[in-house]
């Protein structure tokens, strides 16, 4: 088979390149950015995604740079504990959950790519502008990123568009798709260097979107002589308007800190913690309706290009990683790439569409919504009087089933 052409050296594109290389399928990666920089803040890798990366031999490299997450904890905005559950290895999974800086995750993938696939197979500064195909292969068109000068079209056996939320290949197949769907919630995010809190590896969700919700978790351990961690934080608030999606858009503390001004918990002084942040970014919680079709003969989409989702269930990066695994398996199973891409879509489109839709309505933080509604946003005496533990467990387990991250799903086929 000719080389498979991968557009985008993000999390999905690099994972795909590594899985293809392991399977003996040659590929080349084309990335618009002129350098891979450690941009972004934190992401979580659930055990289902860590399994794929462990199969690629990357588990130790990830463990060295990530925090091995121990537990999820949910609080109301008064700091009262609602629910606590163990995660990853601490919950008896065979694979850990990692909380990690997106830049560190990408660096682990990139280092492995350079050693295994070869640095000469990554082309930086190549912005894909479209693709054509015929019975024998694909022809992918590029411009030089920055000055828009033409670059030579690249031939390959298939094109896998891993070009993220603004995918040009998705647009090529769906030119009239229209604007993304806005959830009504804006998100501010950043990282703060801070002493360990709670277990030192806790993923905290607190408050609720109507008045202000936070997600807080450490992503790097022992970053200085004082033993501080790099801690990722996200503030989400109901907001009528949003600005275009841009992962790097700077945000302003004053636009949201009022919502959490009185969050002084015994384990964290939230306003002080936010004021100490190294960076503040702004991103709207938007997604796109699931697509009716991904694969068009020798061209398909993967990761955010295929299923952009609101980041509410730690599945954005993970599902791109699972896509990559399945697609590589299908390209091994079928000598005909057209058939492989169809089978990949058959295994992944419906599953990920369900996650996109569930993230809109019932991600794990539905636990917070239930308590917010049932208490009328007031402190409670005893959580058992508000909601039964079984109900909380059911909300959490329901999401795990949809996203394929339950123990049962992982114990199954050996594949997502
Ligand atoms: C700069 C950046 C920062 C991010 N920060 C966070 C974060 O803090 N938290 C979080 O949860 N998620 C973040 N994400 C998104 C997260 O990486 C994805 O949701 C998830 O990992 C799915 O990965 P993906 O490979 O589908 O997309 P991405 O990881 O977004 O990768 C897409 C890649 O395609 C490249 N690309 C785009 N258009 C073209 C083109 N026309 N031609 C060639 N290459 C192209 C992009 O530069 C990027 O490298 C960020 C993404 C980016 C690009």
Mean pLDDT of 207-215: 94
Instruction: Give 238-257 pLDDT, tens digit per residue.
Output: 888 777 777 778 899 999 99
Q: What is the pLDDT of residue 148?
A: 75
Q: How far is CA 99 from the centre of its chain?
A: 11
Pocket test for ligand 1, best of 6, 18, 39, 102 (most atoms within 8 A of CB): 102
How many Å apart are CA 100 and CA 105, to the nearest integer?
7
Burial of 324 (0-12, 13-18, 19+ CB in 10 A): buried
Q: Which segment of 75-79, 152-156, 200-204, 283-287 scores lowest on mean pLDDT? A: 283-287
In ligand 1, which atom is closest to the CA atom of 305?
26
Spacing, Cα 141 to ligand 1 middle (Å): 20
Q: Taking the model in full, what pTM does it have?
A: 0.94
Atom 41 in ligand 1: residue holding the nearest Cα: 128
Spacing, Cα 163 to ligand 1 middle (Å): 7
Residues 46, 36 contacting (CB under 8 angstroms) = no
Residues 198, 204 contacting (CB under 8 angstroms) = yes
Instruction: Give 121-161 pLDDT, tens digit per residue.
Output: 999 999 999 999 999 999 999 999 877 788 999 999 999 99
Q: Which residues of 203-229 are buried (b: 16+ CB within 10 A; e: fewer)?
A: bbbbbbbeebbbbbbbbbbeeeeeebb
Which residues contact ligand 1 via a Cβ below 6 A?
Answer: 7-13, 30-33, 39-41, 43, 102, 127-128, 162-164, 166, 168, 247-248, 303-305, 311, 316-317, 320
Q: Which segment of 119-123, 343-347, 358-362 scores lowest on mean pLDDT? A: 358-362
Residues constituting the chain: 416
Spacing, Cα 40 to ligand 1 middle (Å): 9
Structure tokens given for 178: 């229209």
How many Å apart are CA 159 and CA 155, to the nearest integer?
9
Please give the helix or strand (H or E) that residue 343 lies within, else none: helix 337-361
Spacing, Cα 8 to ligand 1 middle (Å): 8
């Amino acid at each position: 088979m000719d080389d498979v052409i991968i557009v985008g050296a993000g999390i999905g594109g690099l994972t795909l390149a590594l899985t293809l290389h392991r399977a003996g399928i040659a590929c080349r990666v084309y990335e618009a950015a002129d350098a891979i920089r450690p941009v972004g803040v934190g992401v979580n890798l659930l055990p289902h995604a860590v399994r794929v990366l462990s199969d690629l031999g990357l588990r130790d490299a990830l463990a060295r740079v990530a925090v091995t997450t121990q537990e999820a904890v949910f609080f109301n905005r008064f700091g009262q504990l609602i629910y606590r559950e163990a995660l990853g290895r601490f919950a008896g999974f065979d694979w850990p959950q990692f909380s990690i800086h997106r830049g560190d995750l990408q660096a682990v993938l990139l280092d492995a790519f350079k050693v295994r696939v070869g640095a000469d197979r990554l082309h930086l500064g190549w912005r894909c502008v479209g693709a054509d195909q015929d019975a024998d292969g694909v022809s992918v068109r590029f411009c030089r990123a920055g000055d828009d000068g033409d670059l030579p079209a690249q031939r390959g056996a298939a094109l896998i568009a891993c070009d993220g939320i603004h995918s040009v290949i998705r647009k090529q197949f769906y030119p009239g798709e229209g604007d993304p769907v806005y959830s009504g919630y804006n998100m501010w995010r950043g990282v703060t260097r801070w002493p360990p809190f709670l277990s030192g590896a806790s993923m905290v969700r607190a408050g609720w979107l109507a008045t202000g919700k936070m997600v807080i978790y450490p992503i790097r351990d022992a970053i200085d002589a004082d033993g501080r961690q790099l801690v990722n934080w996200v503030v989400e608030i109901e907001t009528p308007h949003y600005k275009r999606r841009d992962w790097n858009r700077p945000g302003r503390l004053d636009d949201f800190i009022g919502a959490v001004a009185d969050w002084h918990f015994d384990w964290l002084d939230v306003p002080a913690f936010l004021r100490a942040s190294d960076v503040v970014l702004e991103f709207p919680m938007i997604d796109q309706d699931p697509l009716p079709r991904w694969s068009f003969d020798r061209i398909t989409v993967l990761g955010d290009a295929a299923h952009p989702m609101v980041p509410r269930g730690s599945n954005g990066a993970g599902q791109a990683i699972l896509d990559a695994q399945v697609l590589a398996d299908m390209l091994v199973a079928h000598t005909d790439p057209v058939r492989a891409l169809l089978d990949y879509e058959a295994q992944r489109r419906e599953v990920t569409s369900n996650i996109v839709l569930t993230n809109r309505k019932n991600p794990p933080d539905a636990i917070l919504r239930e308590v917010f509604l049932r208490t009328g946003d007031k402190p409670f005496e005893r959580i058992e009087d508000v909601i039964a533990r079984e109900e909380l467990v059911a909300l959490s387990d329901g999401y795990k089933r949809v996203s394929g991250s339950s123990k049962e799903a992982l114990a199954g086929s050996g594949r997502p």
